[in-house]
Amino acid sequence: MDTELSPDITTPVRRSDEELVRRLRASDGAAGDELVMRHGPALLRYLRRLVRSDHLAEELHQQTWTSIVEHLDRFDISSAGGGFKAWLYRIATNKANDHWRSLGREKKAKEGLRLIGDEMMPDASFRAVSTEQQEKLRKAIDTLPEHQKQVLMLRYYGNLKFIEIAQMLGCPLNTALGRMHKAMLHLKQVMS
């Protein structure tokens, strides 16, 4: 579990990701288990939507965690931008991109992002949409530029904060926010 009891024995204390990374670097395997328990399920859901294959998503999930352990020394704990979760999702996304490139299917990468929209859970303003409207939403998402789709998917499926998304995509925070804003305006316009 990702908590330990505080000195007064009644209140559990949640360890930060950075503390767990420090402990894992010191060969504390339980810290690694805590990180996997904390981030593993959401990461696997993100990969499933990204690659549209349970088997491939599980393989990429495993490769991502293996890469985390192998390159733990590369994670900068003191870095203020993004933190461990952004680093984790960046590695997972890179693993998916590497897979698509290795198959010689750059087109497949774009299709993968497009297909995420097929199952995208709309925001609150679209919750009560009918099947016809859901199809309209999927088509609208397909028309978004790739950089806007990426921000949208990372926000809704990766549950990443905008600062994490910006760091992951290598762009300024305002750029990530602007991409999301433009994507939402486009979707609202198409759906109205």
Range 23-37 average pLDDT: 90
Alpha-carbon distances of 44 from 67, 69, 99, 184, 191, rounded to whole Å: 15, 17, 16, 25, 30
- The span from the CA of 73 to the CA of 68, in Å, is 9
Residues 98 and 114 in one domain: no
Quick one: pLDDT at residue 42? 93
CA dist 45 and 54 (Å) reads 9
Task: Say yes or no: 64 and 15 in one domain.
Answer: yes
Nearest alpha-carbon partner for 120 in 49, 191, 192: 49
37 against 112, higher pLDDT: 37
The long-range contacts involving 66-70, CB below 8 angstroms and separated by at least 24 positions, are: 67/91, 67/95, 68/35, 69/24, 69/32
Last residue of a domain, one of 104, 136, 165: 104
In a shared domain, residues 59 and 123 = no
Whether 134 and 184 map to the same domain: the answer is yes
The answer to which of 39-48, 94-103, 144-153 has the lowest mean pLDDT is: 94-103
Domain of 61 in residue numbering reads as: 1-104
Q: Are residues 84 and 115 in the same domain?
A: no
* Longest pairwise C-alpha distance within the chain: 58
The pLDDT tens digits of the residues spanning 48-106 come to: 988 888 999 999 999 999 999 888 888 887 765 678 888 899 899 888 888 777 665 44
Distance in angstroms (rounded) separating the CA atoms of residues 63 and 105: 20
Check residues 7 and 144 and name the one with the higher pLDDT.
Answer: 144
Is this model's pTM higher than 0.95 or not? no
99 and 127 fall within a common domain? no
CATH number of the domain where residue 53 is located: 1.10.1740.10
41 shares a domain with 17: yes
Domain boundary residue among 86, 104, 122? 104
Is the dihedral angle over the CA atoms 47, 117, 171, 163 positive or is it negative?
Answer: negative
Rounded to an integer, what is the distance from CA 78 to the centroid of its chain? 21
